[in-house]
Structure 1
Amino acid sequence: MHEAAKAPQVGFVSLGCPKATVDAERILTRLRAEGYGISPTYAEADLVIVNTCGFIDAAVEESLDAIGEAVAEQGRVIVTGCLGARADLVRAAYPQVLAVTGPHADAEVMAVVREHLPAPHDPFLDLVPPQGIRLTPAHYAYLKIAEGCDHRCRFCIIPSLRGDLVSRPIGEVLDEAHRLVAAGVRELLIIAQDTGAYGSDRRHAPDFWGGRPLRTDLLTLVRTLGELPAWIRLHYLYPYPQVDELVALMADDVLLPYLDMPLQHGSPAILRAMRRPAATEAVLERLARWRGRCPELAVRSTFIVGFPGETERDFETLLDFLRSAQLDRVGAFAYSPVAGATANALPDPVPEEVKQERLTALMAVQAEISRAKLAARVGRRVTVLIDEVEAEQAIARGPGEAPEIDGVILIPGDWDLAPGDFIEVEITGSDEHDLWAEPVVD
């Protein structure tokens, strides 16, 4: 008897944000559908795909290092992802790579794979998760509803990497959501570069799903997703007017009461320089109104310190904004020039040491806010989703905690729990990042 021939093996390295994770899942799914094996090591791989990030200098450096390692260890390398949109940079560093493609280019990547490593099976190109490969745990999944962005923020090069906004048909999104939930997903994390703009490029044209016409917009989408037996969490929302209606849906338990809104700064002058919405007083008024409508609302945001032209007064205005806004979760970054960003031409760059001092000061202010906000939750009961079970504790999240970017809820003890379980807990302790809890036993 002859042994069956071993399937050709493809190694895979994936970097970057959740949107890149979804791209990676689609490529891996196509590879598996066509009969390729996924190799865990360079030594066993016949070629390697590197899915890159290229948003800031640190990400570019990490991506180039990953490409270099793959070239050194295996030799036959395909580069895809955001850095692939800057093919000249990749090829200048590594001219020997087999091909360079941009993001959301699974068809192009597969064409190159087949060229250099013939497919064992005929391609079945419509496979998508959950039938395919997912890089998240089984109980939650990212659901990408659009690509690209129509904004032109001065610090950002996403439109040049991923293009203008292209929304997926609402029926296609809902089909994928239903398949994911049927496969055991308990939380859907809705992502796009600009989630609130979903459908605007299609002029919100109707699409048929389940025998009914549905308008292609975010409100219609989330109302329909809210019919599923799963948590629905939104990411990357601009402060558009429809956020008021989304918060109403959160208050009605259609959506998780979680608002991820990258505000970037608190000084109107710097926001104008960034080409961002500059109505900070209006944002504070809306925050108060949203919290009045939905008291359980958790608000997350990100900020940039040291943007060109940022004065000490601008920075103090940012700190004052943080103290007034009392945000639940904050991420912050020191401004880093990105090749191709129009902000590079702005005058009055902030010295690097000043950027770092301001970043430290901002995070110290936010740490105290976060400590107080979390301490106020002690004694409350909340439904949580179990993420991990370890020998002496379980790790969970509530509605106010998104995976990978926020804190967690730790449940000490040996409980009969499994990832994907929903349980009710009482919060028993806190620090500036995380919470502690115990299950409610009636």
Structure 2
Amino acid sequence: MPAHRHGTLPRIGFVSLGCPKATVDSERILTRLRAEGYLLQPTHAEADLVIVNTCGFIDAAIDESLEAIAEALDENGRVIVTGCLGARAELVRARHPEVLAITGPQALEEVMAAVHAHLPAPHAPFTSLIPPPGVRLTPRHYAYLKISEGCNHGCRFCIIPSLRGPLVSRPIGEVLEEAGRLVESGVRELLVVAQDTGAYGLDLGHRPGFWGGRPLRTHITDLARALGELPAWIRLHYVYPYPHVDTLIPLMAEGVILPYLDLPLQHGSESVLRAMRRPAATEKMLDRLARWRAECPELVLRSTFIVGFPGETQDDFEQLLDFLRAARLDRVGCFPYSPVAGAAANELPNPVPEAVKQERLERLMAVQAEISREKLAARIGQRLTVLVDTVEEDALIARSYGDAPEIDGEVIIEGAWEIDPGDFIEVVVTEASEHDLWAQPVDPDD
């Protein structure tokens, strides 16, 4: 087979699966491919080879990744696999021995070496220290900003440290330079992500870096304060509840960053949290939430929980529901526990039956739906600044500071409006459901 089949430039298809951290990895690979002259092809059949960036966190994600690889092989036949499932190369090879190459996550150079081996670049390999214009997989007006790789926690349900390695923080100057470029390109919202965002800089001893000619600690608070100087919304995700997270709340109260905090709390029973190897002082957590809300009344809190963890009793589950009722979180995601190959939790006794997991999931989400409905109903009549994501024929789809893209709710503004995606507008809330708000633009003269 020739190096490429379609004219003078080699064409590459791409599949990006998984979380926002994986999306950033995909964007970096695509940026390098474009810089070296490869054409990005939307269909597998017309490409010279296909790269599949996989997810390998839970069984459903593994199945989705293996199916995506199979589809690419069926439609193209020449496939390079990367990402979290690539860290389990033996599993990929067992199902798809014909793939050209396999790399783990955040393996830009290894992916490019595999591409060069099977599809030579039309230009010389990329060597410039000046980053090329970035390819983004998000809409033009928001972008993910990944500040570190890996994780140092030993949570029993998780294999991320074995897939992505220990915590490795990016230099603070490098992060801020990227953020500045993104905002200059038209980004209106930066979504700060990592496996453990609150741990930023711990691996570096918080030693100073430099940005704009001034020293800054490599610390999440210093980073958030500096990001807040940019003319964009700054939203923090995946913030493990370290004690120093308290120092972020004043920045939210002052409007430096969005008053939105995504905390992976996982459970409300102290015995289950100890079994998970998570922070287990639930009463102290409730006290902290109360202090944060007193300091920043506009604070919106999101979290995720796991039901059906091995050994979870009915009493443990009722404690989780009690915690939810007391915490009154704004946004909640919940997942039934799923055994993951290599996770320490697989060795724990007393697995919870699948039917019980599903029943608990449904009960928890019903409790949270009522909380969410009440909290959103309280916003009727409020004025909000919203960021427009989509302009439809008969409505605008927007988000407030309390809504992260793809995982939270929307603000729906019915009617036809001369407004573009990425615009900020002032609205007044007119209706609410358990997930979304409806609103109308505020008259500029009001």
TM-score (norm 2): 0.97
Q: Cα distance, 1:123 vs. partner?
A: 2.7
Change (3 A) 1:242 1:225: same
Structure-1-length-normalised TM-score: 0.98
> Partners in 1 of 2:128 and 2:263 — Cα distance?
33
State the Cα RMSD in Å. Answer: 1.2
Whether the 8 Å CA contact 1:30–1:127 is kept in 2: the answer is: no
Partner of 2:136: 134
Return the letter of the residue paired with 1:303: F
Q: Which consecutive residues of structure 2, in runs of 5 or more, have no partner in the other structure?
A: 1-5
* Partner residue, 2:3: none
CA deviation after TM superposition for structure 1 residue 305, in Å: 0.2
Which residue pairs with 2:356 in the alignment?
A: 354
Aligned ranges 1:163-202 → 2 under 5 Å: 163-202=165-204
Give the % identical residues. Answer: 73
Q: CA deviation at 1:131?
A: 1.2
Say if 1:237 and 1:259, in contact at 8 Å, map to a contact too: yes
2:128 and 2:415 mapped to 1: Cα distance?
44
Q: Give 1:213 deviation, angstroms.
A: 1.4
SS of residue in 2 equivalent to 1:69: helix
Residues 99 and 411 (structure 1), Cα distance of their counterparts in 2 relative to 1, 3 Å cut: same
State the 1:212 CA deviation: 1.4
Q: CA deviation at 1:125?
A: 4.9
Structure 1 residues 246 and 125, CA gap change in structure 2 (3 angstroms): farther
Counterpart residue number, 1:326: 328
Given the superposition, is the C-alpha separation of residues 73 and 5 from structure 1 closer, same or farther in structure 2, using an over 3 Å criterion? Answer: closer
Q: Answer yes or no: is the 8 Å Cα contact 1:26–1:128 preserved in 2.
A: no
Q: CA deviation at 1:224?
A: 0.6
Alignment partner, residue 266 of structure 2: 264
Pairing 1:37-436 to 2, within 5 Å after superposition: 37-125=39-127, 131-436=133-438
CA distance in 2, matches of 1:404, 1:128: 32
Worse-matched range after superposition: 121-130 or 427-436: 121-130
Q: Tell me how far apart the structure 2 counterparts of residues 305 and 30 of structure 1 sit (CA, whole Å).
A: 41
CA contact (8 A) 1:130 1:179 kept: no
| CA shift for structure 1 position 412 | 0.3
The answer as to whether partners of 1:10 and 1:45 remain within 8 angstroms in 2 is yes
Once residues 199 and 347 of structure 1 are traced to their aligned partners in structure 2, the CA distance between those partners, rounded to angstroms, is 37
Deviation at 1:124, TM superposition (A): 2.8
Q: Is the 8 A contact 2:9 2:38 kept in 1?
A: yes
2-structure distance, mates of 1:50, 1:125: 24
Report the AA paired with residue 376 of structure 1. A
Partner of 2:10: 8
d(CA) in 2 for partners of 1:130, 1:334: 42
Q: CA deviation at 1:353?
A: 0.3
Alpha-carbon spacing, 1:161–1:184, altered in 2? closer, same or farther (3 Å): same
Paired with 2:407 and 2:232, the residues of 1 have a C-alpha distance of 20
Cα gap change, 1:200 to 1:332, in 2 (>3 Å): same
In structure 1, distance between residues paired with 2:72 and 2:225: 44
Distance in 2 separating the partners of 1:423 and 1:303: 33
How big is each residue's C-alpha offset from its partner over 1:21-58, in whole Å with a ceiling of 9 and x where there is no partner? Answer: 00000000000000000111111100000000000000
